[in-house]
Structure 1
């Protein structure tokens, strides 16, 4: 079984359904896109939201609260975004109490529970009337005063556009040579049935969260042998506890609201991480250089991977080619394998916006570094890019999306919130609140907002979800 997913370096390749980007509708005419006259046109909208995942749905909730005339366009037949396409074993990296906001329920940390939670937002706030399903966006063009967004059968004109198509919408596998390969390959996105790992010789490629998950699955489902290929490794917080307890977002919130400096937090975190790596006996894979919360995500350790670490055959290299049952690495080593699992992550595809600077970007930080106050694009007017400033940070995505969405609606209403120059640093958890509070006085009254969030950081019960902003 071959992967049918985007491979870096390919000019054209098949993507899985969750990553499909449709070609531009219409024809080019004198530098402008001419749309078919038979298309239904929806004009005078305040806002179009592209993408029906958790970020897009939360934005729609706040747009409705603000009384904005809004449409959310979702390419699938149901909302859910990437979480609808992920296998059931995929999960969040922290406690479900930190994902949940208010009384919007979440039953578990794995994919089925998260998908039901996204659907619960739609039901709880009666968002169905403003959602258009089966509406893949074929192109979006800015013009004086707003945006034109085209789907296969309709054209939407609005003053503002929020791109909420996710930061992980294009699974990526490096381009390698294949010659009569008989090795089954899956990206972590495609591994639907982990039972296939049982009794197999498995090779995992990658040095981040996806690879850690795949290594953990190899032990859970009793692979006969495990080889791990990585070029570099990201920091994690080793733990033998359940994965969801591996990081503590609420502790980070306390540090931030008490005014602990970034250098002081980094010092504490590095001391803790190095002690944990030593205690777990995995100092061989401790990343080079210090952890820096301004640029690094604190990934929770996977207990199965840590317990079985000594049985993993490790190769610091890259996959060069696959022939028969043999994987050849760039350093000349060879691995005999039955299954090749790519934990090589995702890229962000924003080609439908027609902006070269965004189309060429491959990493989230490259995009967020081109946005005023992390979220408002500097490459086009009246455009917000939601995911790059939230994913891969040290925070709960619903928490971050809710605060950002609320302030976006303030900006649309006339308050200049997203005006600070682009930055390279991650905006982590309560640092995000502090950034928004500088300009969004409607939602963060002077003085009072700080007391509110200080109380939440210090005294809100850990077993209870945080309130909806």
Structure 2
């Protein structure tokens, strides 16, 4: 693929790259999508075996194609999602090349466009879209030394309970990944400790509607700034086992030992912040607030939806919350492995243009970067709360494609 020229180069062949390709085609813009592995590779090889989507099939998809083998309210498995994106690429005839890695993007001196170096040669592109998404570099906080004893892995490399050595497990992080992994490990017979930090905890369903529907009709998917000023808010929600509300009291009843935010480690003992009760209470407040807003919406519009008063009843806090464990001797507790469900960082080392801030994060407005001709797609809060979700990235891609089309017209005049 030496010395090729293209109008728009899209880097990344996951949900963001495919959404971008569809809208670029609709705008009549010649383009090429490069993917270093396979289409939707992260769904294939960087997720645990039993993972399903966190949203129902009617919602977590692109508008142009349904999940043909799933009921609308079912939750697609990771393999079904990968197959869905493969089918979508074929449906839109996406000009995608797999197995090609982009190693650098640099502006061409004194000209419009960029010189792109890849594992298969050089490409000149007038516009570049970074559609590699937010899950680029797994983050493990430097709290416990690697030689401390327990095996330590990130949730991106966790596959199933049999993968881990026999013994108890500490799961750090209580977002969607952490709670699902902790529950799976506990149901397999493991002794499990779950480190719970600040989080939002929506109901899975309420009064006959999934929480994604409620966030939609209440306008919350369209929020343009993160709550509490945070760049990322951990959401404890799950589609596992048919989709159930994440309830930390129920997890404690299952036998999971809840602890606070993991804070430090010394001489075989890990310490937890005394914030477990506060984190649980704040998650409960978020949960109850959404119920109240839903009730008000139903009353306002006269909807005939079944009442669900029991959803407002939380029950007493378990002992692990009222009398929290503040430290744990890992060896004495038999902890042989730690799963860090602590998220990801972006990595744009290949993007060697003035499109990043001092911390290496994208500098942009709705995906339009500070470097003319460079665009971002698939990031949390790119334009709104829904931006990093399957359906959300599709709508963001339309805005970006329209902007590229306008700029292409100016440059071509």
Whether these two folds match at TM > 0.5 is yes
Structure 1 residues without counterparts, runs of 5 or longer? 1-38, 267-289, 417-469
Q: Secondary structure at the match of 1:189?
A: helix
CA distance, structure 1, for counterparts of residue 231 and residue 160 of structure 2: 36
Quote the residue 1:329 is aligned against. Answer: 271
The answer to which structure, 1 or 2, has the higher relative contact order (CA under 8 A, 6+ apart) is 2
Q: Secondary structure at the match of 1:155?
A: strand
CA distance, structure 2, for counterparts of residue 67 and residue 179 of structure 1: 52
Q: State which of 115, 121, 132 in structure 2 corresponds to 1:154.
A: 121
Q: Is the 8 A contact 1:377 1:385 kept in 2?
A: yes
Q: Does 1:134 align with 2:71?
A: no
Quote the residue 1:431 is aligned against. Answer: none
Q: State which of 360, 364, 369 in structure 2 corresponds to 1:371.
A: 364
4+ residue segments displaced more than 6 Å: 290-295
Q: Does 1:308 align with 2:245?
A: no
Deviation at residue 115 of structure 1 after TM alignment: 0.6
Alignment: residue pair count: 332
Q: Secondary structure at the match of 2:179?
A: helix
> Greater CA deviation, 302-311 or 88-97?
302-311
CA distance, structure 2, for counterparts of residue 73 and residue 295 of structure 1: 28
Q: State which of 158, 161, 178 in structure 2 corresponds to 1:194.
A: 161
Q: State which of 209, 233, 249 in structure 1 corresponds to 2:212.
A: 249
RMSD: 3.5
Cα shift readout 1:293-338 (whole Å, capped 9, x = no counterpart): 9974654265475423243333334364487xx5533776423302
Quote the residue 2:2 is aligned against. Answer: 40
Normalising by structure 2, we get a TM-score of 0.70
Normalising by structure 1, we get a TM-score of 0.62
In the TM superposition, 1:325-404 aligns within 5 A as 326-329=268-271, 333-335=328-330, 336=333, 337-355=335-353, 358=356, 361=359, 367=362, 370-372=363-365, 374-378=366-370, 380-389=371-380, 393-394=385-386, 397-404=389-396
For the structure 1 residues 155 and 388, does the alpha-carbon distance in structure 2 shift closer, same or farther, using more than 3 Å as the test? Answer: same
Quote the residue 1:123 is aligned against. Answer: 90
For the structure 1 residues 80 and 390, does the alpha-carbon distance in structure 2 shift closer, same or farther, using more than 3 Å as the test? Answer: farther
Q: Secondary structure at the match of 2:82?
A: helix
Cα shift readout 1:356-400 (whole Å, capped 9, x = no counterpart): 7737537xxx63xx312x21112x111111022458934672322
CA distance, structure 2, for counterparts of residue 75 and residue 297 of structure 1: 29
Deviation at residue 171 of structure 1 after TM alignment: 0.9
Cα shift readout 1:117-176 (whole Å, capped 9, x = no counterpart): 11111111222xx21221111100123311111112311111111000111111111124
Q: Secondary structure at the match of 2:216?
A: helix
